[in-house]
Amino acid sequence: MAKNDPVAGDTATPAKQGKLKFIILMVLVLLVAIGGSVAGTWFFLHKSQNKDEKPADAATVATAKPAAIYEALQPAFVVNLAQQGRQRYLQVSITLMSHDAEGMAALKEHMPVIRNNLVLLLSGQDFNQLASPVGTEMLRQKATASVQEVAQKEIGKLVVDQLLFTNFVLQ
């Protein structure tokens, strides 16, 4: 009797229709979310490409930092260090970094003074301090200040931005 009862058949159909509507609604929400994500990504990527394609104006060119110039000091520095009566050695390859090509060319005339100051600075170091990364960084900063001092005295401006250790060997 339940099979032929029209009232019982009507209650099963709305439940199936409710589930079907819910599934269709969820699929639509998912498609809208994916479409929005794709559209947003395309918009932001397209927007950043348009910024990159704009021609450089005079203000942008004027504020752009010039390319870095590197000047390696050859040959490498080799100094003796004394540690508790033992003879130790330090070998350092140094490169100067600047953004001023004219200043670096003028500074080349004063390389003997720079090398002298660096040899004196390096040979006066404590071996145990140089064995630590902090000691090495402190030495690099002192050496940078030494080179900048010579540049300021001889040329009248700070030409060297950084002094870099490209090789550092303690033995």
Q: In this structure, are 84 and 157 located in the same domain?
A: yes
**Total domains in the fold of the chain:** 2
What gap in Å lies between CA 169 and CA 103, rounded to an integer? Answer: 30
What gap in Å lies between CA 94 and CA 169, rounded to an integer? Answer: 12
Q: What is the mean pLDDT of residues 8-19?
A: 67
Q: In this structure, are 79 and 148 located in the same domain?
A: yes
Please determine, for residue 61, whether its predicted confidence score (pLDDT) is greater than 80: no
Confidence of residue 37 (pLDDT cuts 50, 70, 90): confident
| Residue-level pLDDT at 66 | 82
Residue 1 in domain = no
What gap in Å lies between CA 98 and CA 111, rounded to an integer? Answer: 15
Residue 162 in domain = yes
What gap in Å lies between CA 158 and CA 152, rounded to an integer? Answer: 5
Q: In this structure, are 105 and 54 located in the same domain?
A: no
More confident residue, 15 or 125: 125
Q: In this structure, are 109 and 146 located in the same domain?
A: yes
Q: What is the pLDDT of residues 96-138, one digit of tens each?
A: 999 988 989 999 999 999 999 999 999 988 888 888 999 999 9
Q: What range defines the domain where residue 41 resides?
A: 6-61
Q: In this structure, are 108 and 81 located in the same domain?
A: yes
| Residue-level pLDDT at 114 | 94
Q: Tell me what the pLDDT averaged over the chain comes to.
A: 83
Q: In this structure, are 128 and 80 located in the same domain?
A: yes
More confident residue, 13 or 143: 143
Q: In this structure, are 73 and 53 located in the same domain?
A: no
pTM tops 0.85, yes or no? no
Which residues are CB-contacts of 152 (< 8 A; sequence separation ≥ 6)?
A: 158
For the chain, the C-alpha Rg in angstroms (whole number) is 35
State the DSSP H helix or E strand holding residue 130, giving kind and residue range, or none if neither: helix 127-130
Which residues are CB-contacts of 4 (< 8 A; sequence separation ≥ 6)?
A: none
Q: In this structure, are 81 and 49 located in the same domain?
A: no
